[in-house]
Amino acid sequence: MQNGRDLYTAELPAEGWTAFCGGNNEEEDMETCVAVAVTDSLVAIRDTKRPELPALRFTPEEVAAFVRGYTEKIGPSA
């Protein structure tokens, strides 16, 4: 498993980001979207409205643990 420093020095892909949108549908708020890029060693998440800001980076194991915990708490259909 990579440590935090390795995650933030790893090169992010230039292409292959997928946008996931939802939430605010008010015109003044615009829709909320995040872009996600996945490699073998990391999952990066960034704000589509502010792509110049650094992406948050997680190991695939960290994301899997988050999804597992969320599913256990909220349920798989939420």
Q: Are 62 and 72 in contact (CB under 8 A)?
A: no
Query: Looking at the whole model, is its pTM more than 0.85?
Result: no
Q: How far is the C-alpha of 13 from the C-alpha of 10, rounded, in Å? A: 10
Residue entry with tokens 């994301």: 63
pLDDT tens per residue, range 18-33: 999 876 556 556 677 8
CA angle 28, 70, 52 (to 5 degrees): 45
Binning pLDDT at 50, 70 and 90, where does residue 69 land? very high
Q: What are phi and psi of 49, to 5 degrees?
A: -80, -20
